[in-house]
């Protein structure tokens, strides 16, 4: 299995990660891989999953809600995600 360079890992966006994970799921569900190939594919899936989580965490930390203050100043307020299960 090809290993990515540091530059490729940095350039890897969420859409590419998600596409890679979808491909991995298809390969694993296909049932045509040897045990060793399955393990390597699974390891790559774990790596991609972690990278996707890093990308989402970074995006969440960048989300700011801008509030307009009375004197027209704008300040950034950290985004707080709603609790799971509440609407």
Does pLDDT of 71 surpass 60? no
Return the sign of the alpha-carbon dihedral for residues 74, 75, 78, 80: negative
pLDDT in tens, 55-69: 988 887 776 544 444
At what angle are helices 35-62 and 14-30 packed, to 10 degrees?
Answer: 160
Closest listed residue to residue 1, CA positions, set 57, 59, 44: 44
Supply the mean pLDDT for the chain: 78
Q: What is the pTM of this model?
A: 0.60
So what's the pLDDT on residue 66?
A: 45
Closest listed residue to residue 29, CA positions, set 15, 17, 41: 41
So what's the pLDDT on residue 82?
A: 66
């Amino acid at each position: 299995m090809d290993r990515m360079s540091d530059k490729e890992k940095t350039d890897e966006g969420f859409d590419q990660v998600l596409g890679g994970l979808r491909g991995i799921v298809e390969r694993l569900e296909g049932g045509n891989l040897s045990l060793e190939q399955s393990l390597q594919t699974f390891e790559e899936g774990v790596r991609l999953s972690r990278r996707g989580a890093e990308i989402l965490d970074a995006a969440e930390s960048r989300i700011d809600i801008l509030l307009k203050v009375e004197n027209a100043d704008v300040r950034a307020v950290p985004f707080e995600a709603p609790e799971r299960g509440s609407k």
